[in-house]
Structure 1
Amino acid sequence: MASGNPKTFQQEEIVRPAANFSPSLWGDLFSSVSTDYNQALNDEVRGLIIRNEMLAAEKLNLIDSIERLGISYHFEKEIEQQIQYLSLEKIDDGDLHTVALYFRLLRQHGHHISSGIFEKFTETDGKFKSCLENDTRGLLSLFEAANLRTHGEDILEEALSFTTCHLIKSINNNNNNQHNSMIISSPLKEEIEHALEQCMQRGIPRVEAHRYISIYEQFESKNDSLLRLAKLDFNSVQMLHRKELCELSRWWKELDLVSKLSYVRDRVVECYFWTLGVYYEPKYSRARIMLAKTIAMISVIDDTYDSYGTVDELQIFTDAIERWDIKEMQKLPDYMKICYKAVLDLYEQYDEELSDQERSFAVHYAKATMKEIVRSYNIESKWFNMEGYMPSFSDYKTNGFITSTYYLLAATSFIGMTSASKEAFDWLINKPKIQVANVTICRFVDDIATYEIEKKRGQSGTGIECYMKEYGVSEEEAMKEFNNIAEKAWKDINGEIFNEKSVSVEILKRIVNLSRLIDVVYKHNQDGYTNPEKLLKPLITALLIVPFAN
């Protein structure tokens, strides 16, 4: 029996909610890994990027291919120089595909460009010209560009509607063998079908690179050097990722929390997948491991608050985290001592690792967000345990933004990045617009995906229920509004990529990538983290298990 106040813990019977989480899908698969691989870089590709005699349209397509193949991190300076060199005058006379590609690349790289660039493709009424309906490649490029729209960009709203309609029509006609002036063949057909399912701006870069390598291989116009480099690089980086996951799996097994705490989700591989979404490049190796360990630990804490702890136990645990002192362990029930010690040990390890780089300041910010989320988990737990209590939607949202974990994960994603200065942490902690948008997407998309499960568990005070009660709307209407809120947040993110100048694009990409993860992991209102079999297993298999044949 746990030490502490016997009135608190020595109860005859505690009724706890049954979590019934499925076990890990991966067993011991990532317990060991071979590190016999070659790192191949091709100077020929760098030469192609900087070659001056290439036409502007050719250069844009080259840069786009390099980025979509997942190898642009080797050539960041050269690509940025070329993008700045390409002027609007060189592009303005181009076709729809070239103009849309130019627009998308500039915005993705944090440069402002007006959506008025598309006006020449519209009629006087603002509608896009009907002659574009059969320009399938152009429609696809405009569709991807339109997904970078910000608030008030009516021409891009029209572009998204126009392209979506005609791309779906072209696919349907193709599938039904109906007469079509332009038969769509592979790989363009595959590109369109995938884009309609997962637009580029909201896709996980590493996942999209894996898919695009297979697509690019089918192009008649493919560059063999690019393709070979992409495959070699993917395979070598995959081996690095497996090595990292091997290290992470050993740490997780040594903690042995799954057997000690039967109620927690065993999702360490999925935690690592999350970090690949934030940054897959080799230079972020240490950052990935730190972030993955934190995600695994916050998952355990989340399950403790959500699926096991009593109100009294959780209050004492919250107080102990707030004081952050190993002496607090004696006040906790036995099962909580295991979790508490693991948390304190983890952050002590971070402090030791970062002190060598004189970056211990980062741990201070990471601890602050851990304390913040635990306080909010405790508030949420009290709400759920107060029979008939329903917080106001405003109170729910304020607390729910924190329990979404995205304030904590954004800060933690910075701690292993040597480029994340104290100023970058201060910027983040002050909740800039792009970070609020990021958290908004996480909270509202998560609420939609987990609503049915939470309802079956008997949880009240969920976001959907709070909104329904306060505004007198149906479930369907509440979910529609939550989707609208998430869409508006994506427009904020798209705008801040080029408006936010306080930090580098490298820093901003971490925020954008966290939002992309939500779009993928909770696709079609499913919780891919808790139930990874359908959504995440194929992606994890592609990224971490099966290499490309050279």
Structure 2
Amino acid sequence: MHENLHSCALCFRVLRRHGYHVSTDIFESFKDSNGNFTTSLAADVEGMLSLYEASHLALDGESTLDKAREFASFHLKNMLGKMDMRSAMRVSRALELPSHHRMQRLEARWNIEMYDKQNKANQLLHKLATLDFNLVQKVHQRDLQDASRWWRQVGLANKLSFARDRLMESFFWTVGMISEPQFSKCRVGLTKVVKLITVLDDIYDVYGSADELELLINAVDKWDVNAVNDLPDYMKLFFFALYNTVNDMAYDTLKEQDQVIISQLKKVWADLCKAFLREAEWRYKKEIPRFDEYLDHGWTSSSGVVFLTHTYFLTTQNITHEAIKALNDGHGLLRSPSTVFRLANDLSSSKWADLCKAFLREAEWRYKKEIPRFDEYLDHGWTSSSGVVLLTHAYFLTTQNITHEDIKALNDGHGLLRSPSTVFRLANDLSSSKDDVGRGETAKAVLCYMHETGASDEVACAYIGKLIDQNWKMINKENTYNSALFGKCFIQTAQNLAA
């Protein structure tokens, strides 16, 4: 294996992907006396592609994999015009976005079609993959029916005309996050979470006044139906939809696992509301926050923490106190995916109450037309990304054995919440920054960094890309060293949030 680059890189990638700490020394035999990869490897397209894919499972400080990525990407780009069509398609797709940064289930159909084009394709394997795809798709279709029934019953689409009514888009995203057929309950639950986040985002971005947003944060913080008396009618409808949906999820967990999780769920929503408010403030004031402020904020406002927290509770069979503590502490498996999620979106264009507060903060920025400091924006953005809300719900929707350790980790804002949420936020900023500036947005990672440092748009985007890569390394570390805390299913969901 040490003489075959493709086999070596593939084994490394598979083992790292499944949480095994494989040393990068495995690649030493492919280096010259100066410690560089030998140029003779460049002619091996399959080997170079495998090396490039493996390099994206790097941990912080692994210079060998950093060199491998630079070496492989340089030679793959140079060889593109000399490859056969099938190889060129695979290489171009990998250079655009590596496999590790993609939602794996959403790649199934493309992989099946590409495999069928191989000269020596195993037809039995191809039929098995096709059968699996069709059977799982049937399960997903039933899940969509359940989610659609809930959305019609809630009635937000009819009553709140300003809110986006895109259920299919929300459901399709949750399929990418957690596709395994046994997690139907989680997919339906997370679709509810995504739809509520979307409506909340529209309230903060489009409809709500600054005073109304403060009232909503107060209601979510108190988690008390009596608080709705101070809300305008449209907010009353939303609050009751949120209150009833989240309480139902908490009740199911109490009934099935004898664990009380409502405090974790309401906290992530409160954090998200606060993050949204901070960004609204930047927008209203036309302020551009400091880049570090933006980044510290953005992993929360990306919604990734909300999503991953819910995912943990929806997928975990044995919920632990350690995991809950890690989630509460903003574990890297929350922060890094949420940060990537936030930053990547910028390039291309408890936690419920926290989410409301995050939305309100962004609304204040918007109203006052302020641009926050980058560090302020980033510290706020991982909450307002919605990642914390999503992940918190995901934990309770997927975990069969909820533990006090897990709950404490969730409450403490474990890195498994923070890192994915930060990625979630930054990726979102990258994808939408130019369009958002045109609509009057002032608080986006790219704009904050440009305003603070005087850098060009191109330099700012490159810097955001490096931050995304750093957070991916943190996510890889959580997968390798902390899988015992939350379990593989939740960690995979956190990775998918960042993808």
TM-score by structure 1 length? 0.72
Provide structure 2 residue ranges, at least 5 long, that are not aligned to the other structure.
286-367
In the alignment, is residue 479 of structure 1 matched against residue 484 of structure 2? no
**Which residue of structure 1 lines up, in the alignment, with residue 58 of structure 2?**
149
**Aligned mates of 2:176, 2:213 — CA distance in 1:** 32
Aligned partner of 1:48 in structure 2 is none
In our comparison, the structure showing a higher alpha carbon Rg is: 1
Q: Which residue of 1 aligns with 2:498?
A: 515
Partner Cα separation in structure 2 for residue 222 and residue 359 of structure 1: 49
SS of residue in 1 equivalent to 2:486: coil
1:43 is aligned to: none
Q: Residues of 1 paired with 2:14 and 2:72: CA distance?
A: 19
| 1:474 counterpart letter in structure 2 | S
Q: Which residue of 2 aligns with 1:455?
A: 437
Give yes or no for the alignment of 1:503 onto 2:486: yes
User: Which residue matches 2:387?
Assistant: 406
Q: Which moved further from structure 2: 132-141 or 494-503? A: 494-503
Counterpart of 1:139? 48
- The question of 1:373 aligning with 2:272 is answered yes
Query: SS at the partner of 1:459?
Result: coil
Matched residue, 1:250:
149
Tell me the equivalent position of 1:9: none
Offset of 1:314 from its aligned partner?
Answer: 1.1
Is the Cα–Cα contact under 8 Å of residues 420 and 507 in structure 1 kept in the other structure? no
CA distance in 2, matches of 1:391, 1:167: 40
Per the alignment, residue 200 of structure 2 pairs with: 301
User: Measured at CA, do residues 339 and 143 of structure 1 come closer, stay the same or move farther in structure 2, by a change above 3 Å?
Assistant: same
What SS does the aligned partner of 1:113 have?
A: coil
Letter of the 2:8 counterpart: V
Q: Deviations over 1:117-149 (max 9, x none)?
A: 111111112222222222111111111111212
- Count residues in correspondence: 415
Check conservation: 1:411, 1:425, Cα contact below 8 A: no
Deviating above 4 A after TM superposition, structure 1's stretches of 4 or more consecutive aligned residues are none
1:145-294 equivalences in 2 (<5 Å): 145-174=54-83, 184=84, 186=86, 188-294=87-193
Question: Which deviations, in whole Å up to 9, do the C-alpha atoms of 1:225-260 show, x marking residues without a partner?
Answer: 322221111101101101111111122122232232
Identical positions, percent: 31
Deviation at 1:319, TM superposition (A): 0.9
For 1:431, the equivalent position in structure 2 comes to 413
Q: SS of the residue aligned with 1:127?
A: coil
Q: Is the 8 A contact 2:396 2:402 kept in 1?
A: no
Contact 2:430 / 2:446 at 8 angstroms: preserved in 1?
yes
2:22 corresponds to: 113
CA distance in 2, matches of 1:116, 1:271: 42
Q: Which structure shows the higher strand fraction?
A: 2
CA contact (8 A) 1:366 1:415 kept: no
Say if 1:434 and 1:511, in contact at 8 Å, map to a contact too. yes
Deviations 1:35-94 (A, max 9, x none): xxxxxxxxxxxxxxxxxxxxxxxxxxxxxxxxxxxxxxxxxxxxxxxxxxxxxxxx43x4
Q: 1 or 2 for the larger relative contact order (CA 8 Å, sep ≥6)?
A: 1
Q: Indicate the residue corresponding to 1:417 in structure 2.
A: 398
Higher helix share: 2
- Measured after TM superposition, the shift of residue 469 of structure 1 is 3.0
Shift of 1:510: 1.7
Residue 420 of structure 1 and its aligned partner are, at CA, apart by 5.5
Q: CA RMSD in A?
A: 2.0
Q: In structure 2, what is the Cα distance between the partners aligned to 1:484 and 1:366?
A: 32
Question: Do the aligned partners of residues 255 and 504 (structure 1) sit closer, same or farther apart at CA in structure 2, a change above 3 Å counting?
Answer: closer
For the residues of structure 2 that align with 1:451 and 1:243, how far apart are their CA atoms?
36
Aligned to 1:351: 250
Q: Is the 8 A contact 2:282 2:369 kept in 1?
A: no
Which of 449, 472, 476 does residue 490 from structure 1 map onto? Answer: 472
Partner Cα separation in structure 2 for residue 337 and residue 343 of structure 1: 10
Moved more, 161-170 or 273-282: 161-170
